[in-house]
Amino acid sequence: MDAIEVIVTKRDGRALSAEQIAWVVDAYTRGEVADEQMSSLAMAILLNGMEREEIGRWTEAMIRSGSCMDWSGLDRPTTDKHSTGGVGDKITLPLAPLVAACGAYVPQLSGRGLGHTGGTLDKLESIRGWRASLSNDEMLGVLRSAGAVVCAAGDGLAPADKKLYALRDVTGTVESIPLIASSIMSKKIAEGTGALVLDVKVGSGAFMKSVQTARELARTMVDLGTDHGVATIALLTAMDRPLGLAVGNALEVAESVEVLAGGGPSDVVELTVRLAREMLAAAGVSGKDPETALKDGSAMDSWRRMITAQGGDPDAALPKAPETHEVTAPASGVLARLDAYGVGLAAWRLGAGRARKEDAVSFGAGITLHAKPGDTVREGQPLMTLHADDPSRFDRALAALAGAYELGETADPSLLPLVIDRITA
Protein backbone atom coordinates (compact mmCIF):
# COMPACT_ATOMS: atom_id res chain seq x y z
CA MET A 1 0.00 0.00 0.00
CA ASP A 2 1.15 3.57 -0.56
CA ALA A 3 0.08 6.92 0.82
CA ILE A 4 -0.93 8.41 -2.54
CA GLU A 5 -3.51 5.66 -3.08
CA VAL A 6 -5.05 6.37 0.32
CA ILE A 7 -5.07 10.13 -0.24
CA VAL A 8 -6.71 9.81 -3.67
CA THR A 9 -9.40 7.52 -2.28
CA LYS A 10 -10.50 10.12 0.24
CA ARG A 11 -9.86 13.05 -2.11
CA ASP A 12 -12.41 11.53 -4.49
CA GLY A 13 -14.97 11.19 -1.72
CA ARG A 14 -14.78 7.42 -1.28
CA ALA A 15 -14.66 5.56 2.03
CA LEU A 16 -11.27 4.27 3.18
CA SER A 17 -11.08 0.52 3.69
CA ALA A 18 -10.17 -1.05 7.01
CA GLU A 19 -6.81 -2.08 5.50
CA GLN A 20 -6.06 1.42 4.21
CA ILE A 21 -6.82 3.00 7.57
CA ALA A 22 -4.82 0.48 9.60
CA TRP A 23 -1.85 0.86 7.27
CA VAL A 24 -1.76 4.65 6.98
CA VAL A 25 -2.13 5.33 10.72
CA ASP A 26 0.57 2.80 11.58
CA ALA A 27 2.89 3.96 8.81
CA TYR A 28 2.50 7.62 9.83
CA THR A 29 3.22 6.80 13.47
CA ARG A 30 6.40 4.98 12.42
CA GLY A 31 7.49 7.82 10.09
CA GLU A 32 6.98 5.90 6.85
CA VAL A 33 4.25 8.32 5.72
CA ALA A 34 5.52 11.91 5.59
CA ASP A 35 3.88 14.88 7.33
CA GLU A 36 2.96 16.47 4.02
CA GLN A 37 1.18 13.30 2.93
CA MET A 38 -0.78 12.96 6.18
CA SER A 39 -1.68 16.66 6.08
CA SER A 40 -3.09 16.11 2.58
CA LEU A 41 -5.15 13.17 3.83
CA ALA A 42 -6.35 15.17 6.85
CA MET A 43 -7.52 17.95 4.53
CA ALA A 44 -9.35 15.41 2.35
CA ILE A 45 -11.07 14.07 5.50
CA LEU A 46 -11.99 17.62 6.55
CA LEU A 47 -13.54 18.35 3.15
CA ASN A 48 -15.24 15.00 2.44
CA GLY A 49 -15.97 13.62 5.91
CA MET A 50 -16.06 10.01 7.06
CA GLU A 51 -18.77 7.42 7.52
CA ARG A 52 -19.47 5.95 10.97
CA GLU A 53 -17.58 2.72 10.24
CA GLU A 54 -14.62 4.67 8.87
CA ILE A 55 -14.39 6.84 11.99
CA GLY A 56 -14.59 3.72 14.15
CA ARG A 57 -11.77 2.06 12.23
CA TRP A 58 -9.67 5.23 12.33
CA THR A 59 -10.17 5.47 16.09
CA GLU A 60 -9.30 1.79 16.53
CA ALA A 61 -6.07 2.31 14.56
CA MET A 62 -5.18 5.26 16.80
CA ILE A 63 -5.81 3.14 19.90
CA ARG A 64 -3.70 0.27 18.52
CA SER A 65 -0.77 2.63 17.90
CA GLY A 66 0.03 2.40 21.62
CA SER A 67 -0.86 0.69 24.86
CA CYS A 68 -4.19 0.43 26.67
CA MET A 69 -4.86 0.64 30.39
CA ASP A 70 -6.72 -2.09 32.26
CA TRP A 71 -8.70 -1.52 35.46
CA SER A 72 -10.39 -4.91 35.54
CA GLY A 73 -8.61 -5.79 38.79
CA LEU A 74 -10.44 -3.06 40.70
CA ASP A 75 -13.37 -3.96 42.92
CA ARG A 76 -15.63 -1.13 41.72
CA PRO A 77 -16.72 0.15 38.29
CA THR A 78 -14.72 2.91 36.60
CA THR A 79 -16.20 6.03 35.05
CA ASP A 80 -14.73 9.20 33.56
CA LYS A 81 -15.73 12.60 32.17
CA HIS A 82 -14.27 14.57 29.28
CA SER A 83 -14.97 18.23 28.56
CA THR A 84 -14.25 19.83 25.21
CA GLY A 85 -12.99 22.89 27.11
CA GLY A 86 -14.13 26.35 28.02
CA VAL A 87 -13.66 29.42 30.21
CA GLY A 88 -13.89 28.84 33.96
CA ASP A 89 -14.51 25.14 33.36
CA LYS A 90 -13.07 23.70 36.57
CA ILE A 91 -15.69 20.95 36.84
CA THR A 92 -13.21 18.05 36.85
CA LEU A 93 -11.72 19.27 40.13
CA PRO A 94 -14.82 18.83 42.33
CA LEU A 95 -16.37 16.15 40.09
CA ALA A 96 -13.70 13.42 40.29
CA PRO A 97 -13.60 13.24 44.11
CA LEU A 98 -17.39 13.64 44.30
CA VAL A 99 -18.01 10.61 42.09
CA ALA A 100 -15.38 8.65 44.04
CA ALA A 101 -17.21 9.51 47.28
CA CYS A 102 -20.39 8.07 45.75
CA GLY A 103 -18.92 4.65 45.01
CA ALA A 104 -17.13 4.60 41.64
CA TYR A 105 -13.46 4.78 40.66
CA VAL A 106 -12.50 7.78 38.49
CA PRO A 107 -9.30 7.39 36.40
CA GLN A 108 -9.08 10.79 34.69
CA LEU A 109 -6.38 11.64 32.17
CA SER A 110 -6.36 15.40 31.60
CA GLY A 111 -4.44 18.01 29.66
CA ARG A 112 -2.98 21.50 29.84
CA GLY A 113 -4.52 24.71 28.60
CA LEU A 114 -3.72 26.36 25.29
CA GLY A 115 -5.01 29.77 24.25
CA HIS A 116 -8.12 31.09 25.99
CA THR A 117 -9.25 27.75 27.46
CA GLY A 118 -7.80 26.54 30.76
CA GLY A 119 -6.23 23.15 31.44
CA THR A 120 -7.04 20.91 34.39
CA LEU A 121 -3.39 20.00 35.02
CA ASP A 122 -2.35 23.67 35.13
CA LYS A 123 -5.02 24.32 37.76
CA LEU A 124 -4.01 21.41 39.95
CA GLU A 125 -0.31 22.26 39.66
CA SER A 126 -1.05 25.49 41.50
CA ILE A 127 -1.37 23.27 44.61
CA ARG A 128 2.03 22.99 46.28
CA GLY A 129 3.71 19.63 45.65
CA TRP A 130 0.99 18.16 43.41
CA ARG A 131 2.31 15.90 40.61
CA ALA A 132 0.67 15.46 37.21
CA SER A 133 2.99 12.74 35.89
CA LEU A 134 2.33 9.29 37.33
CA SER A 135 3.28 5.78 36.24
CA ASN A 136 0.51 3.26 35.68
CA ASP A 137 1.34 1.63 39.03
CA GLU A 138 1.16 5.01 40.76
CA MET A 139 -2.20 5.71 39.12
CA LEU A 140 -3.52 2.40 40.41
CA GLY A 141 -2.23 3.16 43.89
CA VAL A 142 -3.92 6.57 43.96
CA LEU A 143 -7.17 5.06 42.69
CA ARG A 144 -7.18 2.42 45.40
CA SER A 145 -6.38 4.89 48.17
CA ALA A 146 -8.43 7.90 47.08
CA GLY A 147 -10.99 6.57 44.60
CA ALA A 148 -10.00 9.15 41.97
CA VAL A 149 -6.86 10.18 40.12
CA VAL A 150 -6.34 13.11 37.75
CA CYS A 151 -3.05 13.05 35.85
CA ALA A 152 -1.30 13.46 32.51
CA ALA A 153 -1.52 10.79 29.83
CA GLY A 154 1.70 8.83 29.29
CA ASP A 155 3.52 8.82 25.94
CA GLY A 156 2.43 5.24 25.28
CA LEU A 157 -1.27 6.08 25.10
CA ALA A 158 -2.45 6.60 21.47
CA PRO A 159 0.88 8.05 20.22
CA ALA A 160 -0.63 8.37 16.72
CA ASP A 161 -3.01 10.97 18.10
CA LYS A 162 -0.23 13.04 19.64
CA LYS A 163 1.58 13.18 16.31
CA LEU A 164 -1.53 13.82 14.22
CA TYR A 165 -2.88 16.45 16.65
CA ALA A 166 0.28 18.53 16.28
CA LEU A 167 0.04 18.25 12.48
CA ARG A 168 -3.63 19.28 12.38
CA ASP A 169 -2.81 22.31 14.51
CA VAL A 170 -0.52 23.76 11.81
CA THR A 171 -2.37 22.65 8.66
CA GLY A 172 -5.85 24.12 9.15
CA THR A 173 -7.52 20.75 9.75
CA VAL A 174 -8.38 21.06 13.44
CA GLU A 175 -12.10 21.58 12.71
CA SER A 176 -12.73 18.15 11.16
CA ILE A 177 -15.37 16.46 13.34
CA PRO A 178 -14.21 12.89 12.47
CA LEU A 179 -10.65 13.83 13.47
CA ILE A 180 -11.73 15.70 16.63
CA ALA A 181 -13.93 12.79 17.71
CA SER A 182 -11.30 10.13 17.02
CA SER A 183 -8.62 12.20 18.79
CA ILE A 184 -10.68 12.51 21.98
CA MET A 185 -12.14 9.01 21.96
CA SER A 186 -8.94 7.13 21.08
CA LYS A 187 -7.36 8.42 24.30
CA LYS A 188 -10.48 7.89 26.40
CA ILE A 189 -11.03 4.33 25.16
CA ALA A 190 -7.33 3.49 25.58
CA GLU A 191 -7.62 4.85 29.12
CA GLY A 192 -9.71 1.78 29.88
CA THR A 193 -12.67 3.36 31.66
CA GLY A 194 -15.90 1.37 31.71
CA ALA A 195 -18.22 4.38 31.30
CA LEU A 196 -17.75 7.86 29.90
CA VAL A 197 -19.71 11.11 30.12
CA LEU A 198 -18.86 13.82 27.58
CA ASP A 199 -19.39 17.50 28.36
CA VAL A 200 -19.56 19.17 24.94
CA LYS A 201 -19.40 22.93 25.37
CA VAL A 202 -21.33 25.30 23.09
CA GLY A 203 -20.81 29.02 22.58
CA SER A 204 -18.22 31.74 22.02
CA GLY A 205 -15.83 30.39 24.66
CA ALA A 206 -15.99 26.83 23.31
CA PHE A 207 -14.51 25.10 20.30
CA MET A 208 -18.03 24.38 19.02
CA LYS A 209 -19.82 27.70 18.48
CA SER A 210 -23.23 26.37 17.46
CA VAL A 211 -25.59 23.81 18.97
CA GLN A 212 -25.79 22.05 15.59
CA THR A 213 -22.06 21.36 15.28
CA ALA A 214 -21.78 20.48 18.98
CA ARG A 215 -24.60 17.97 18.59
CA GLU A 216 -22.87 16.42 15.57
CA LEU A 217 -19.61 16.05 17.50
CA ALA A 218 -21.41 14.64 20.54
CA ARG A 219 -23.31 12.10 18.43
CA THR A 220 -20.10 11.00 16.69
CA MET A 221 -18.28 10.51 20.01
CA VAL A 222 -21.18 8.69 21.67
CA ASP A 223 -21.34 6.33 18.68
CA LEU A 224 -17.58 5.71 18.89
CA GLY A 225 -17.73 4.91 22.59
CA THR A 226 -20.75 2.66 22.16
CA ASP A 227 -19.18 0.79 19.25
CA HIS A 228 -16.07 0.16 21.38
CA GLY A 229 -18.04 -1.21 24.32
CA VAL A 230 -17.83 1.88 26.55
CA ALA A 231 -21.14 3.11 27.99
CA THR A 232 -21.12 6.68 26.68
CA ILE A 233 -23.48 9.65 26.93
CA ALA A 234 -22.97 13.36 26.18
CA LEU A 235 -24.37 16.58 27.56
CA LEU A 236 -24.33 19.77 25.52
CA THR A 237 -23.67 22.62 27.97
CA ALA A 238 -23.47 26.40 27.72
CA MET A 239 -20.19 28.24 27.18
CA ASP A 240 -21.54 31.56 25.88
CA ARG A 241 -20.62 33.01 29.32
CA PRO A 242 -17.93 31.87 31.77
CA LEU A 243 -18.70 28.99 34.13
CA GLY A 244 -18.65 30.07 37.77
CA LEU A 245 -17.04 33.26 39.07
CA ALA A 246 -13.34 32.35 38.80
CA VAL A 247 -11.19 32.16 35.65
CA GLY A 248 -7.54 31.25 36.19
CA ASN A 249 -5.61 28.38 37.72
CA ALA A 250 -5.41 28.94 41.50
CA LEU A 251 -8.61 31.00 41.44
CA GLU A 252 -10.48 28.02 40.00
CA VAL A 253 -8.97 25.62 42.53
CA ALA A 254 -10.24 27.88 45.34
CA GLU A 255 -13.72 27.92 43.79
CA SER A 256 -13.68 24.12 43.41
CA VAL A 257 -12.84 23.74 47.10
CA GLU A 258 -15.81 25.99 47.90
CA VAL A 259 -18.06 23.61 45.95
CA LEU A 260 -16.64 20.60 47.79
CA ALA A 261 -17.31 22.41 51.07
CA GLY A 262 -21.00 22.69 50.17
CA GLY A 263 -20.93 26.22 48.70
CA GLY A 264 -19.75 27.75 45.43
CA PRO A 265 -21.55 29.33 42.46
CA SER A 266 -24.89 27.76 41.59
CA ASP A 267 -24.02 26.96 37.95
CA VAL A 268 -20.83 25.11 38.95
CA VAL A 269 -22.69 23.15 41.64
CA GLU A 270 -25.59 22.32 39.30
CA LEU A 271 -23.37 21.06 36.48
CA THR A 272 -21.06 19.13 38.85
CA VAL A 273 -24.00 17.30 40.43
CA ARG A 274 -25.64 16.63 37.04
CA LEU A 275 -22.45 15.18 35.56
CA ALA A 276 -21.79 13.13 38.70
CA ARG A 277 -25.23 11.55 38.47
CA GLU A 278 -24.70 10.79 34.78
CA MET A 279 -21.30 9.20 35.48
CA LEU A 280 -22.65 7.03 38.29
CA ALA A 281 -25.67 5.93 36.23
CA ALA A 282 -23.47 5.10 33.22
CA ALA A 283 -21.25 2.98 35.47
CA GLY A 284 -24.25 1.25 37.06
CA VAL A 285 -23.46 2.59 40.54
CA SER A 286 -26.43 3.44 42.76
CA GLY A 287 -24.90 4.50 46.04
CA LYS A 288 -24.81 7.86 47.77
CA ASP A 289 -26.39 10.78 45.90
CA PRO A 290 -23.87 13.47 44.86
CA GLU A 291 -25.79 16.26 46.60
CA THR A 292 -25.55 14.33 49.85
CA ALA A 293 -21.81 13.76 49.37
CA LEU A 294 -21.24 17.51 48.98
CA LYS A 295 -23.21 18.26 52.13
CA ASP A 296 -21.85 15.55 54.45
CA GLY A 297 -18.15 16.22 53.78
CA SER A 298 -17.36 12.89 52.09
CA ALA A 299 -16.57 14.58 48.74
CA MET A 300 -14.13 16.93 50.51
CA ASP A 301 -12.51 13.96 52.25
CA SER A 302 -12.07 12.28 48.87
CA TRP A 303 -10.50 15.48 47.45
CA ARG A 304 -7.99 15.70 50.28
CA ARG A 305 -7.00 12.04 49.84
CA MET A 306 -6.61 12.48 46.08
CA ILE A 307 -4.46 15.62 46.36
CA THR A 308 -2.31 14.13 49.13
CA ALA A 309 -1.80 10.85 47.24
CA GLN A 310 -0.33 12.83 44.32
CA GLY A 311 2.12 14.72 46.54
CA GLY A 312 0.03 17.83 47.05
CA ASP A 313 -0.71 19.70 50.25
CA PRO A 314 -4.47 20.41 50.40
CA ASP A 315 -3.91 22.85 53.28
CA ALA A 316 -1.22 24.94 51.57
CA ALA A 317 -2.03 28.53 50.63
CA LEU A 318 -2.72 28.91 46.90
CA PRO A 319 -0.62 31.33 44.82
CA LYS A 320 -1.93 34.90 44.58
CA ALA A 321 -1.01 37.45 41.94
CA PRO A 322 0.44 40.61 43.52
CA GLU A 323 -1.30 43.07 41.18
CA THR A 324 -5.06 43.64 40.79
CA HIS A 325 -7.26 45.94 38.73
CA GLU A 326 -11.02 46.45 39.09
CA VAL A 327 -13.40 46.79 36.14
CA THR A 328 -16.49 48.72 37.27
CA ALA A 329 -19.97 49.12 35.82
CA PRO A 330 -20.17 52.25 33.62
CA ALA A 331 -23.88 52.65 34.49
CA SER A 332 -26.64 51.06 36.54
CA GLY A 333 -28.73 48.27 35.05
CA VAL A 334 -28.72 44.54 34.42
CA LEU A 335 -25.64 42.71 33.16
CA ALA A 336 -27.20 41.53 29.92
CA ARG A 337 -24.22 39.73 28.41
CA LEU A 338 -20.74 38.55 29.45
CA ASP A 339 -18.90 36.96 26.56
CA ALA A 340 -16.95 33.83 27.50
CA TYR A 341 -14.35 34.26 24.77
CA GLY A 342 -13.56 37.87 25.74
CA VAL A 343 -13.12 36.90 29.40
CA GLY A 344 -11.00 33.87 28.47
CA LEU A 345 -8.80 35.95 26.17
CA ALA A 346 -8.32 38.55 28.91
CA ALA A 347 -7.34 35.86 31.44
CA TRP A 348 -4.87 34.44 28.93
CA ARG A 349 -3.30 37.88 28.43
CA LEU A 350 -3.04 38.28 32.19
CA GLY A 351 -0.82 35.18 32.25
CA ALA A 352 -3.29 32.42 33.14
CA GLY A 353 -2.87 30.69 29.77
CA ARG A 354 -0.21 29.94 27.20
CA ALA A 355 0.29 30.64 23.51
CA ARG A 356 2.60 27.64 22.95
CA LYS A 357 2.65 24.27 24.68
CA GLU A 358 6.10 24.95 26.14
CA ASP A 359 5.08 28.29 27.72
CA ALA A 360 4.75 28.61 31.51
CA VAL A 361 1.57 29.88 33.13
CA SER A 362 1.08 32.19 36.09
CA PHE A 363 -0.82 30.23 38.74
CA GLY A 364 -2.20 33.36 40.42
CA ALA A 365 -3.28 35.23 37.27
CA GLY A 366 -6.86 35.41 36.12
CA ILE A 367 -10.22 37.08 36.66
CA THR A 368 -12.69 37.08 39.53
CA LEU A 369 -16.23 37.89 38.38
CA HIS A 370 -18.54 39.84 40.68
CA ALA A 371 -21.65 39.62 38.49
CA LYS A 372 -23.17 37.16 36.01
CA PRO A 373 -25.70 37.81 33.22
CA GLY A 374 -29.06 38.65 34.77
CA ASP A 375 -27.57 40.30 37.86
CA THR A 376 -28.51 43.90 38.71
CA VAL A 377 -25.52 46.22 39.09
CA ARG A 378 -25.03 49.83 40.14
CA GLU A 379 -22.84 52.41 38.45
CA GLY A 380 -19.29 52.12 39.82
CA GLN A 381 -19.88 48.64 41.25
CA PRO A 382 -17.04 46.17 40.51
CA LEU A 383 -17.93 43.81 37.65
CA MET A 384 -14.66 41.89 37.78
CA THR A 385 -11.19 41.96 39.32
CA LEU A 386 -8.16 41.26 37.14
CA HIS A 387 -5.17 39.49 38.72
CA ALA A 388 -1.65 39.55 37.26
CA ASP A 389 2.00 39.26 38.27
CA ASP A 390 2.89 42.30 36.20
CA PRO A 391 0.65 45.41 35.94
CA SER A 392 1.80 45.94 32.35
CA ARG A 393 -0.51 43.09 31.38
CA PHE A 394 -3.69 44.98 32.33
CA ASP A 395 -3.95 47.14 29.21
CA ARG A 396 -4.06 44.20 26.80
CA ALA A 397 -6.48 42.33 29.04
CA LEU A 398 -8.79 45.36 29.16
CA ALA A 399 -8.62 45.57 25.36
CA ALA A 400 -9.86 41.95 25.19
CA LEU A 401 -12.76 42.87 27.48
CA ALA A 402 -13.84 45.86 25.36
CA GLY A 403 -17.27 44.86 24.05
CA ALA A 404 -17.26 41.60 26.01
CA TYR A 405 -19.96 42.77 28.41
CA GLU A 406 -23.12 44.77 28.02
CA LEU A 407 -25.62 46.40 30.38
CA GLY A 408 -29.33 46.54 29.66
CA GLU A 409 -32.76 46.16 31.17
CA THR A 410 -32.76 42.34 31.18
CA ALA A 411 -30.42 39.44 30.46
CA ASP A 412 -29.88 38.68 26.78
CA PRO A 413 -32.75 36.34 25.78
CA SER A 414 -30.43 34.41 23.48
CA LEU A 415 -28.36 33.07 26.41
CA LEU A 416 -28.19 29.29 26.31
CA PRO A 417 -29.60 27.12 29.11
CA LEU A 418 -26.84 25.56 31.23
CA VAL A 419 -27.68 22.06 29.95
CA ILE A 420 -28.89 22.24 26.36
CA ASP A 421 -29.30 18.61 25.35
CA ARG A 422 -28.47 15.02 26.26
CA ILE A 423 -27.17 12.62 23.61
CA THR A 424 -27.35 8.88 24.23
CA ALA A 425 -26.72 5.68 22.29
Catalytic machinery residues: 82, 161, 168, 183, 187
Quick one: CA torsion of 25, 29, 31, 33, rounded to 10 degrees? 10
Q: Please, is 108 exposed, middle or buried when counting C-beta atoms within 10 Å of its C-beta (0-12, 13-18, 19+)?
A: buried
Decide if 200 contacts 271 (C-beta within 8 A).
no
User: How far is the C-alpha of 285 from the C-alpha of 287, rounded, in Å?
Assistant: 6
Q: How far is CA 180 from the centre of its chain?
A: 13
Decide if 301 contacts 101 (C-beta within 8 A).
yes
Encoded amino acid at 335, one letter: L
Within 13 Å and on the Cβ side, how many CA atoms surround 25? 29
Decide if 333 contacts 364 (C-beta within 8 A).
no
Which ranges of 159-287 does DSSP label H, i.e. alpha helix?
159-169, 177-190, 211-227, 249-260, 266-283
Element holding 324 (H helix, E strand): strand 323-328
Q: Please, is 205 exposed, middle or buried when counting C-beta atoms within 10 Å of its C-beta (0-12, 13-18, 19+)?
A: buried
Radius of gyration of the chain (CA): 22
User: How far is the C-alpha of 240 from the C-alpha of 234, rounded, in Å?
Assistant: 18
User: How far is the C-alpha of 119 from the C-alpha of 110, rounded, in Å?
Assistant: 8
Sheet containing strand 246-247, strands side by side: 246-247, 366-369, 382-388, 323-328
